[in-house]
A and B are shown apart, each in its own frame.
Chain A
Amino acid sequence: ETGVTQTPRHLVMGMTNKKSLKCEQHLGHNAMYWYKQSAKKPLELMFVYNFKEQTENNSVPSRFSPECPNSSHLFLHLHTLQPEDSALYLCASSPQGFNEQFFGPGTRLTVL
């Protein structure tokens, strides 16, 4: 595994629940990302944070709310999700510049 950890690894929630996904990177990177990976779609970029500031919101519904309290931690707060939101949610980090991103193992989310 890389230096990016995600918890929980698996999450089952009802449509009325509120839950949060956590991502932590130990690589000293300044940029962090949330991606959604579903069975029938390629990787979809959701949010980008640079130096704790959100720099990209890829038209993500407001039921997904990101939070980046510092350069090492990234959260994705979930509320009133829909079954179609079931997917693998991947966190990534990277240094500044045209460098590769390092991915965590993902959280497998199932919305009932």
Chain B
Amino acid sequence: AQSVAQPEDQVKVAEGNPLTVKCTYSVSGNPYLFWYVQYPNRGLQFLLKYITGDNLVKGSYGFEAEFNKSQTSFHLKKPSALVSDSALYFCAVRGGAAGNKLTFGGGTRVLVKP
């Protein structure tokens, strides 16, 4: 079975400071990892994915994530957070044997203070 853990329910940062949202996963075989963001009253929007290749993945809105196989982690980062980054962030994983079934973490609410 595959699973995702987002250990922090909420992350608070000041605008302009670095933002990190943590994610660890468990999956059989090679992991396919995704980050999504959800704004109020909206569906999920895709930010970035890791399939293979370079461990540092760059995505939308200045976000990036680093795949660490030994630590089974895929933390989301942004060097300088904006107030508009305040939202709910989800990490998701798909294992090779799971077909197109995504398993999501519980979500981390990010609050960026002016």
Contact = CB atoms under 8 A, between A and B. Distances in A.
Interface residues of A, number: 26
Given A43-B90, A56-B101, A90 B44 contact: yes
Nearest to A105: B43
A96 interface: yes
A102 interface: yes
Bin chain B's interface residue count.
20 to 34
A106 interface: yes
Contacts of A92: 43-44
Nearest to B102: A101
B95 to A, nearest CB: 10
Interface of A: 1-2, 4, 6, 31, 42-43, 45, 48, 50, 55-56, 90, 92, 94, 96-98, 100-106, 108
